[in-house]
Structures are given as structure tokens and as C-alpha cells.
Amino acid sequence: MHRSASRLTRVLACAAVPVILTVAGCSSDSGKASGSDGGKKSDSSASAKPNAKPSPTLEKAAYAALPDPCKVIQAQTVDTLTPEAKDKNGTATKSNDLNSRASCSWNGLDEDGLKGSQYRWLSISLFRYDSHASLGGANKRAEDQYNKQVETAKATEGAQNVKAEPAGGIGDQATSVVFTSKKDVDFFNTTIVARTQNVVITLDYNGAAYEGAGAPDQAKLLQDAIAAAKETVASVDASNQQKPAEQPAQPPAQQS
């Protein structure tokens, strides 16, 4: 009896082992599904926010100001392009923001007695652009304006024999547009559109002959217009150069 009881006890103990392991296994699986680790991961994923895209950095405008439009070319250049100019200082156009847009014009009638008269008209306009979060970078905005000005020149009302081509050596990009038009006489027109960084320059130059004078030389008009446009680009750059700060005067060295 004693021997049978011992044997029965050992059998029951062995039979109970799988049951305990099974229960433990179920408890373990249940813990993984609803335990604290799983909850934390779920909460963390739900609360995570997508990384916001950083705003693109816009370049700082290269030029912060415009020069006086009536002083962007030298007095000698004015004399060459508009002989006998009515006002050699030029006539500035009114603007409510001279730091963004400004223009000046000159005109003159050179009379030569029985040989007739030569009329010349010159206009220089400046447009400056800043970088803007919703409008784009300063240079890109200037480039867009440059392209518009070229198209505007090519589409001038009454323009005939329009010829547009790149004009090298003037700022970052430049185009010359030449054409003829007729009012009371034939006018020979030249427009130079140039961009230097964030500033766009539109230079209009035309000439006409009166009272039997010979027609203006279109090639000479273009040559003079290009020279004036180069001067204007240089003036824009020079007007934005920072002057070196003056150094304070040093006291004289004391003699020992």
C-alpha cells in the first residue's frame, strides 16, 4: 500500500507539469498582446508626428539699393548719346519707392543748318528685387522680370524689322533688341535689357533725322547703347560697395 501510494504521487506530479507549463505559456502570450510594453509601443507610434519640412533658405539680395538713375552714366556719355541735350542732368521719373525702381531720361536735337537735324532720346530704368518667402529668391525674381522686359521690347507697338540677340559682357545676362518705327519720320530704336544679380536694367535709345539729314546709323546706336548699359551695370555695383570704416586717429607716440 505504501509502495502504491508513493507511485501514485509520482505519477500525479509528472502529469501536472505540462498543465503548469501550458498555463504559463498562455499567460506569457497574453502579456505580450496587452502588457505594458505593447501599450507603450502603440502609444508611441500613435503620438509620433511627421517631421515638418524645413522652409527653403532664400539667398540674401546682392544689391540692397539703387543708384541715382540720372547719375549712372557719365556726363561725357550723355553728350555722346544725346548731343545738345535739353537737360544734361536728365529728367528723373517720379517713383513711390526709389529703392526698388527708378528711371531717368535725356533728349536732344542737334541742328546742323542746311544739313538738317539729328534727334536722340535715351531712357534708363532700374528695377531691384528682394528675396521674399512667397515670391521667391531675389535673383530669380529679377530673372523673371528680365525675360518679361525682353518680350515687351520685342512686342513694341509699331515695331518693324525686329531683331533680338544676346549682348555679351553686360552683367549676368543681356539682350539687345533693335527695330525701326515710323511716326512723322523713321525712328531707329535700340533697347538693351540686362540683369546684374537682383537688378534689371532697361535702356532705350533711339534716333531720327529731320530736315533732310542722313538717317542714324543703327550699328552706331547699338554700340553706344551697349557702352551706356555697361556703365550702368558698373554704377549699380559701385553704389552697393561698402566703404571701409574709418580708423580712429592714433595718439602720437610719447617719447621716453
Query: Does residue 76 have a pLDDT over 60?
Result: yes
Query: Rounded to two decimals, what is the model's pTM?
Result: 0.73
With cell 522686359, the residue in question is: 149
Total count of domains within the chain? 1
Condensed to tens digits (0 to 9), the pLDDT of residues 98-110 reads: 999 999 999 999 9
- Whether residue 190 is contained in a domain is answered as yes
- Whether residue 21 is contained in a domain is answered as no
148 closest CA partner among 98, 104, 97, 202: 202
Report yes or no: 142 and 100 within 8 Å, Cβ to Cβ: no
What is the Cα–Cα distance from 200 to 103, expressed in whole angstroms? Answer: 12
Condensed to tens digits (0 to 9), the pLDDT of residues 27-75 reads: 344 444 444 454 444 454 445 555 555 556 888 999 999 999 999 999 9
CATH of the domain at 163: 3.40.1000
Report yes or no: 195 and 201 within 8 Å, Cβ to Cβ: yes
Q: Write down the pLDDT at residue 46.
A: 47
When mean pLDDT is compared across 41-55, 138-152, 159-173, 185-199, the lowest value belongs to 41-55
**How far is the CA of 144 from the CAs of 55, 124, 133, 195, 209, in angstroms?**
22, 19, 16, 10, 36
Q: Alpha helix (H) ranges present in the chain?
A: 2-34, 36-47, 75-81, 138-154, 218-239
- Whether residue 42 is contained in a domain is answered as no
Please give the residue range of the domain that contains residue 180. 69-239
- Whether residue 156 is contained in a domain is answered as yes
Q: Write down the pLDDT at residue 28.
A: 42
C-alpha triplet 152, 156, 159: angle, nearest 5°: 140
